[in-house]
Amino acid sequence: MKRAVVLLSGGVDSSTVLAIAKAEGNEVYALSFDYRQRHRVELEYAKKMAAAAGVARHLIVQFDLREIGGSALTSGMEVPKDRPSKEGEAQEIPVTYVPARNTIFLSFGLAWAEVLGAESIYIGANAIDYSGYPDCRPEYLGAFERVANLATKASVEGAMKFRIMAPLISMKKSEIIAKGGEIGVDYGLSWSCYDPQPGDKAGEVVPCGRCDSCRLRAKGFAEAGMRDPLAEDR
Amino acid sequence: MKRAVVLLSGGVDSSTVLAIAKAEGNEVYALSFDYRQRHRVELEYAKKMAAAAGVARHLIVQFDLREIGGSALTSGMEVPKDRPSKEGEAQEIPVTYVPARNTIFLSFGLAWAEVLGAESIYIGANAIDYSGYPDCRPEYLGAFERVANLATKASVEGAMKFRIMAPLISMKKSEIIAKGGEIGVDYGLSWSCYDPQPGDKAGEVVPCGRCDSCRLRAKGFAEAGMRDPLAEDR
């Protein structure tokens, strides 16, 4: 059975990609990152999602991007709320951008993929309903694929050819959610919010509902004509 | 003063590059990695070297590549000893190759460089007297530079243009050491050995003298007609 590494944040996009990678006949190795992000609670959802999908292994690599900073997700900067969405227009890249994040994530993904003999590295990158991050665009992913095939022993020796798989790249959020619904993704096990808020119960956190990620999620479910099970739980 | 990030392992090459980056008029930010490598002692040397060079800051990012494995430097595999060197011939890539290591290192370097406003990222990659690692070749470094400029907010917004600086790329080890000697690098503060051995004193470790890295170092000093101060100390 062919193997694939799937970058899994625990959000809607990567959870859908996890299911797609399985549906495409891969033995799936899920890879998550504890980079001391503000919304580390997403890792609890990633664990549940990986378990529900029956992955071969779920690895969480840890490092501290607060030491590098430069983002509202890894420093004291505030997460923007109620930012107007400008459909069809070039978006300003918001302060939730994390410098070189997908490059770091894909690099670890590449390392693990080489060791596992997995030629496909799946990522939930999406360049339609997204926050404008440069490392979610097809030209970036193509350039990284080239790096992957120049960087590794397995590729230069001709044993492997890596592919960066971004099946959601040109899908709207509503299309992603509809697709996930079709292939049985339980979005109640996914987390999107960048700025978790204290809930009613002790220790509980709930989505803020107002950050870009919450708003894109809500818009996606609304346009797909589906109910968000995570919102239902509350 | 322009800024530069320098990847600093604590070895001969990266220590020389650190001095070159300073000599080229940069305010230098040294970046090292504790990836639970077998030869973590190199980080003690990196600290001394960074301090001696008077860097603006020395950051050591930590993560555990033993979880990913696939290398004699991060697993129980033995480090090859007395491997014949085949000058001018294509070398087999040895088991000390660490999957995607330079891609991971450069990714963190890129993140930090963007936050610091440092357009130059220096790396001690060398494709002459080296172990044959694919991620030390010019075509790899060029491909990563392209990724860097597609991946980041600062570059896509036109505020920065990243350059991967590999001033040693086509130098022999003896030329590197001679250059370092000229610009005042104290190689007594550098460490090369992949497989540190217990020394005579309690807690002390000494170079094995037989791994590729020890042999390349010894050959370099011999051909440069210089004495290795690290060997002298013993």
Q: Is B68 exposed, middle or buried, given 0-12, 13-18 or 19+ CB atoms closer than 10 A?
A: buried
In this structure, the strands spanning A197-198 and A205-206 are: antiparallel
Backbone angles phi, psi at A32, to 5 degrees: -120, 165
| Integer angstrom CA distances of residue B179 from B7, B48, B128, B131 | 18, 20, 15, 21
* Full set of structural domains in chain A with CATH: 3-232 (3.40.50.620)
Confidence of residue A208 (pLDDT cuts 50, 70, 90): very high
pLDDT in tens, A112-147: 999 999 999 999 999 888 888 999 999 999 999 999
Distance CA B119, CA B129 (A): 28
pLDDT in tens, A178-188: 999 999 999 99
pLDDT reading at A84 higher than 80:
no
Q: Which residues of A touch B62 (CB under 8 A)?
A: 63-64
How much is the pLDDT for B233?
58
Instruction: Check CB contact under 8 Å for B156 and A93.
Output: yes
* Under 8 Å between Cβ of B115 and A101: no
- List beta partners, residue A34: A62
What residue ranges of chain B have pLDDT lower than 50?
A: 88
Whose CA is closest to A168, among A3, A41, A11? A11
How much is the pLDDT for B92?
83
A80 CB-near residues (< 8 Å, 6+ apart): A72, A94, A95, A96, A211, A212
How much is the pLDDT for A130?
80
Q: Is A8 exposed, middle or buried, given 0-12, 13-18 or 19+ CB atoms closer than 10 A?
A: buried
Identity of the residue in A59, A67, A144 whose CB atom sits nearest the CB atom of B147: A144
* ipTM confidence: 0.96
B96 CB-near residues (< 8 Å, 6+ apart): B71, B72, B73, B79, B80, B131, B194, B211, B212, B213
How much is the pLDDT for B129?
81
- Number of neighbouring beta carbons within 10 Å of residue B107: 27
Instruction: Check CB contact under 8 Å for B157 and A110.
Output: no
Distance CA B213, CA A152 (A): 20
- What does pLDDT average to over chain A? 94
Instruction: Check CB contact under 8 Å for B99 and A115.
Output: yes
Residue in chain B closest to A59 (alpha carbons) equals: B67
How much is the pLDDT for B215?
95
Backbone angles phi, psi at A163, to 5 degrees: -130, 130
Confidence of residue A89 (pLDDT cuts 50, 70, 90): low
How much is the pLDDT for B48?
98
- Scan for tokens 């951008």, then name that residue: A97
Distance CA B29, CA B7 (A): 9
How much is the pLDDT for A128?
86
How much is the pLDDT for B130?
80
Instruction: Check CB contact under 8 Å for B152 and A99.
Output: yes
How much is the pLDDT for A91?
65
How much is the pLDDT for A69?
96
pLDDT in tens, B179-205: 999 999 999 999 999 999 999 999 899
In this structure, the strands spanning B205-206 and B197-198 are: antiparallel
pLDDT in tens, A8-22: 999 999 999 999 999
